Amino acid sequence: MSEAKITKKNNSTSEIRLNKLLAERGLTSRRGADKLIAEGLVTVNGKKVYELGIKVNEHTDSISVDGTPLRGKNQNLYIMFHKPKNVITSMSDPLGRTTVADYMTAVPGRVFPIGRLDWDSEGLLIMTNDGEFANKVMHPKTEVTKTYHVKLNGQPRPDQIEKLYKGVSIPGGGKVKAKLVEKIKMAKTREQKTSEKHDWYKIIITEGKNHQVREMFKKIGFDVMKLQRVAIGKLKLGQLERGELVYLNDAAVERIFIQDLPNDTYIKKADRKNDDDGAPKTRDEKPVRRLNPRIEKAAAAKKAPKKELAHVTKKNFYRELNKKNATE
């Protein structure tokens, strides 16, 4: 359908992109709205539309999605859900398998998941009806951190873990890097048992490629036996039981956009930009720690006098001190 057939008002402020309107009404994300439009599932004033950039008047145009009229504005909902294993991250499944929608029956409104967790993975999943918010969380420029605990079918060497920092290429996702990878010790419980042969690792990433964490470890020769997402930004799963959900207030929502990275995160010199003279950093340099600015300043102050008397040994300390007093 041509854009000219859609009712327009002289006041251009009443017009809005169709995909943005669908996202604002909590139907799906902008990307999901584009897919609905491209598939011909959206009608405006009784006519199917296929143009992704089309604008509509939310007050006067009659809009339907898959035959259902677009509902009016409602209160935005933000939910933290602990997805169990063997649950599909979808609102429906043609095969009749259990989906996250089965846990949302008591939610006062239609919500959808932001991103996804594999069927055999568990952990933190954000549900919402706010399409704009979902788009912001998933956008690569936002660099929202996602933290996972994974159990491997072996024990990686340090040089193998180093490859995850430098970046590995995964199928369909290109080159991806880890922001942090560290070995952790899981507490022995009835549900979670430690093993001397299988290491647990904490890994933090900012991308959201399909099967990314599993594919990254597979690239260095290990299969992920268990995977749990424990945090998105600084919003943490905590003690929330599997299958349970909690509604998030504004303060909790804001924590999603705070990167959950420690001050001493390793930064690879090889990944830095070239020096001012244009000489690139060598790939075999050891990682250095990035400290809190206050700690760096205090450390520099302590190091200053040591550099002045670096040549003074214990044996000739008093002799050098007398020389210094004489010159003063």
* Nearest CA-CA partner of 284 in 166, 167, 169: 166
Contact partners, residue 147, CB within 8 Å, separation at least 6: 202, 203, 204, 229, 230, 231, 232, 260
Q: Which three-class secondary structure state does DSSP give residue 14?
A: helix
Contact 112, 128 (CB under 8 A): yes
Q: Which three-class secondary structure state does DSSP give residue 303?
A: helix
Mode of pairing for the β-strands spanning 168-170 and 174-176: antiparallel
Q: Give the active site residue among 118, 120, 199, 276.
A: 118
Q: Look up 118 and say whether it is catalytic.
A: yes
* Nearest CA-CA partner of 79 in 29, 136, 8, 127: 127
The token pair at 302 is 């302590």
Active site (catalytic) residues: 118
